[in-house]
Amino acid sequence: MYARDNASGANPPQEQPTSAQVEAAVEAFRMLSDATRLRLMWLLASGEYDVGSLAETIAVARPSVSQHLAKLRLAGLVHTRRDGRRVLYRARDVHVCTLIGEALFHADHEVSNIPRHQD
């Protein structure tokens, strides 16, 4: 990039992310790069589910769903709460929900030949 490229102000310089921020983002993307985990997160972005409901909805065995949820929880992408004997899972916060939504909306453009949004 040349010094004059930024003269128009079209893309003001942004503060660089810290190494810790980059590593946290890489870990989140790593967790979301698995198809089963992405499907789980899509559901969890819209509400709370227990393991059995998730397993049935995405047609994956309960033990596998439990293992994926444990990884997502350790990565800080999923929040849990107890409801009697059940554990309910949901996406941790609005940032995670937005990330999931945007990733899948981007994918929809890729596979459906939907025109790109302009800046």
The two structure tokens encoding residue 37 = 């985990």
**What pLDDT shows up at residue 99?**
94
49-88 pLDDT per residue, tens: 999 999 999 999 999 999 999 999 999 999 999 999 999 9
Q: Which helix (H) or strand (E) holds 99?
A: helix 94-112
Q: What is the mean pLDDT of residues 84-101?
A: 96
Tokens read off for 93: 């916060």
Sign of the Cα pseudo-torsion (43, 65, 52, 55, in order) = positive
Residue 97 in any domain: the answer is yes
> Quick check: is 14 in a domain?
no
Structure tokens at 55: 């397993």
Q: Is residue 101 part of a domain?
A: yes
Give the three-class secondary structure for 22. helix
Domain count across the chain:
1
Domain extent, residue 70, equals: 35-112
Residue 8's pLDDT band (cuts 50, 70, 90): low
CATH at residue 45:
1.10.10.10
Rounded to two decimals, the pTM is 0.82
Sole residue written with tokens 């992405």: 38
Q: Which residue has the higher pLDDT, 109 or 67?
A: 67
Bridge partners, 8 (sequence order)? none
Q: Report if residue 8 sits inside a domain.
A: no
Q: Is pLDDT above 90 for 11?
A: no
In a domain? residue 90: yes
What digits encode the pLDDT tens for the residues 17-45? Answer: 999 999 999 999 999 999 999 999 999 99
pLDDT of residue 2: 44
Alpha-carbon span 44 to 91, nearest angstrom: 5
In a domain, 27, yes or no: no
- Token pair belonging to 36: 């089963």
Flag whether 117 is in a domain: no
In a domain, residue 51? The reply is: yes
